[in-house]
Amino acid sequence: MGEKVADELLDLLNKAIAREIGVSIQYMWQHVMAMGMKSPEIKDIFEDIAIVEMKHAEKIAERLFYLGGTPTTKPTPINVGNSLEEMIGFDLAAENEAIELYTEIIKVADMEEDSTTRLLFEEILGEEEEHQHTFTILLK
């Protein structure tokens, strides 16, 4: 790997880790704080997705460490929201950001001929698209 592009990839992986940690906390707090008529079913969705996101953070951190980087422990900003609608709106925005970031990581990994990182993010991207779809449906 070229050093400059390798650094770019490591930085992008750390951005991904920070995002995954942030949304894990965001979704879990929403699980705890969700109230209202529809909250019982949605609380479980928040919890389930929070766990998936934490597993993503772990997989990305393992890959980053393997590549010689140091995984961040700082999450991106956490936006819990005050109503179910606001919570889901924040979550949909977070998933859209993830899809954009992970598409970029896949391109950079491909340029670096790092098929392992590319394949990891293709798998994670598919799960993020499922989350995006779930939150889109909940907003209707």
List the domains of the chain with CATH numbers: 3-139 (1.20.1260.10)
Q: Is the pTM of this model over 0.75?
A: yes
- How does residue 106 score in pLDDT terms, banded at 50, 70 and 90? very high
Residue 129 has pLDDT above 60, yes or no: yes
- How does residue 127 score in pLDDT terms, banded at 50, 70 and 90? very high
Closest listed residue to residue 107, CA positions, set 3, 9, 7: 9
Closest listed residue to residue 14, CA positions, set 78, 79, 63, 77: 63
- How does residue 1 score in pLDDT terms, banded at 50, 70 and 90? very low
Q: What is the pLDDT of residues 43-98, one digit of tens each?
A: 999 999 999 999 999 999 999 999 999 999 999 999 999 999 999 999 999 999 99
